Chains A and B, each alone.
Chain A
Amino acid sequence: MSQDTTNASNNLGWDPIDPHGINPHDEAHKGHFVADWKMQISILVILLVFTVLTVGFYNLEQWAETAFEITLPKWINIAGAMSIATVKAILVAAFFMQLKYDKVLNTFVMLFCLFCVALFLGFTMIDLGSRHLVDPERAPPIVAGGTGVGLNAAPVDKKFSLILSPKVNTGGSNIVYYARLHGNEEKPGLLYYREKGDEASFWKKFYGAHASGRDELDERNFYEQLGFTTGTSISDSNASHPRYGLTPGLFSDVDPKTAESQDDGH
């Protein structure tokens, strides 16, 4: 109603002092906040500087590790990256999203939402991270995840199938292990190189890419032949990360050898 009267009495069609026509005499109404362009551009610059900072920190760490073999503790890496991200997020929320100048209610909504996120993450991690704490003897050494045991049967394919994934049949082995043997068109696996009689070049790439120890598929010990001599352990891909607490008993035909090797893991 007040809108109509405002429109009628004003030849502009709207009231510049009270653009929404809520109540021209309302002292509380101060119009909407219009951001200052200098402030906005300085926020952008700060955000970009922080991005450079976090990337620089990451590269510094990498460089220290490769050049001087200085390994910083993990938490420094996490705390550094995440605190920079948090500062950036607060800047975006406060200035670009104008929470600083907006109604407190909107900030409250976001904070309450973040509280829920924290609950969600916190309690889920308490469960998955503490299953062996109270009663380690509760179950026999629990099977580590990622054994690939469930992958020994490809899903049935019929007319209506929506199954998009490849019909992988690893024969019950781990998928990473399977991929190492078979590879793909761009990156052929070990079997391809063996057929070609050029196993060495596969292991050269393999050890060059990642591994710190000899792989169990490396039967002819290319690990030493190629001069990768630090460490001699043969990693067991099925047991490299034994964990208590992943859901037990889903697949009963687990290799007992794998199950035993859980004990000396952690």
Chain B
Amino acid sequence: MTMIDTDTSGVPARILKSPMHWRNAKHQSHWRSGDEEFDAAKFGMWLFLSTEVLLFAGIFCGYAVFRMLYPEAWANGSHSLDWRMGAANTAILLFSSWTAANAVRLCQLDKQFWFKINILITILCAIAFVAIKFTFEYGIKLPEGKAPGTFFSYPYATDPHEPLWWSLYYIGTGIHAFHVIIGAFLFAFVLWRAHRYQAYGPTQYTLVENSALYWHIVDLIWIFLFPLLYLIH
């Protein structure tokens, strides 16, 4: 059972009276109750997450097919990646997943300050992830000529299909990084509304929950991309 702190003394009246404040939020008129609306939104989010998984299925399918056809190019390719960067990014994403889950919990308990702190940490983790990706991975690989398709100009490659590996590497991690950025913007929106209106609380946290779900699926996909790209050879 939810234990809710009902003390509103510290909250300015401007925020408490705002229609955006979570205590004042009403469900849309075509729903019978806010609970049903919440369930429906969550179900819709899960359907959307399944479309995300199927989107990445294309990348995984390309990976699997070409790995089957050109195993040595794939082995060489995965040796060219720095597993330390991959592992660091994995840890960052796992940690941010935890803070996202924490944010949902704190929001349910109406602990506004710590809720916002957790969202903020999640956003910072997203920035760290993308920064590592762009500076220590793309930023080092691309000037060396380890690039996709016809961009490829790395002189020390041996297998004729290595450009294909790099194509899949950049597209897979690139689309994933794009999702990380979208997730960060989503959380930034949540943070702004939470800060401005206290828009989320025990009875109104649909967007927090769904953003967190989105963030977890981004994490899930990375959990598979990491060993596939960095560890399997």
Chain A in direct contact with chain B (Cβ < 8 angstroms): yes
Q: Show the binding face of A for B, using Cβ within 8 Å.
A: 2-3, 12-14, 16, 19-23, 29-32, 34-35, 37, 40-41, 43-44, 47-48, 51, 54-55, 58-59, 74, 77-78, 81-82, 84-85, 88-89, 92-93, 95-97, 102-103, 105-106, 109-110, 112-114, 116-117, 120-121, 124-125, 128-129, 145-148, 151, 165-166, 168, 174-177, 179-190, 202, 205-206, 209-211, 215, 235, 237-238, 240-241, 243, 246
Of the candidates A21, A59, A113, A151, which one forms a contact with B50 in the assembled complex, judged by CB atoms under 8 Å apart?
Answer: A113
Given A129-B68, A145-B161, does the pair A165, B156 have CB atoms closer than 8 Å? no
Let me know if A92 and B145 touch, CB within 8 A: no
Contact of A206 (CB < 8 Å), options: B83, B156, B163, B230: B156
Number of residue pairs A-B, CB distance < 8 angstroms: 257
Size range of the chain B interface in the assembly: 35 or more
Q: Does A81 lie within 8 Å of B23, measured CB to CB? A: no
Q: List the A side residues contacting B20 at CB < 8 Å.
A: none
Tell me, yes or no, whether B175 is within 8 Å of chain A by CB.
Answer: no
Question: Beta-carbon contacts of B123-154 to A below 8 Å, as 1s and 0s?
Answer: 00000000000000000000111000111111
Contact assessment for B213 and A51 in the assembled complex, using a CB-CB cutoff below 8 Å? no
| B interface with A by C-beta (< 8 Å) | 1-2, 4, 6, 23-24, 26-27, 32-36, 38-39, 42-43, 46-47, 49-50, 53-54, 57, 60-61, 64-65, 68-73, 76, 83, 87, 90-91, 94-95, 97-98, 100-102, 104-105, 108-109, 143-145, 149-164, 202-203, 212-213, 216-217, 219-220, 223-224, 226-228, 230-233
- The residue that B90 contacts in the complex, of A21, A51, A179, A189, with Cβ under 8 A, is A51
Instruction: Select one of B50, B158, B232, B233 contacting A211, CB under 8 A.
Output: B158
Contact A174 to B216, CB < 8 A, known contacts A22-B35, A54-B231, A113-B53: no
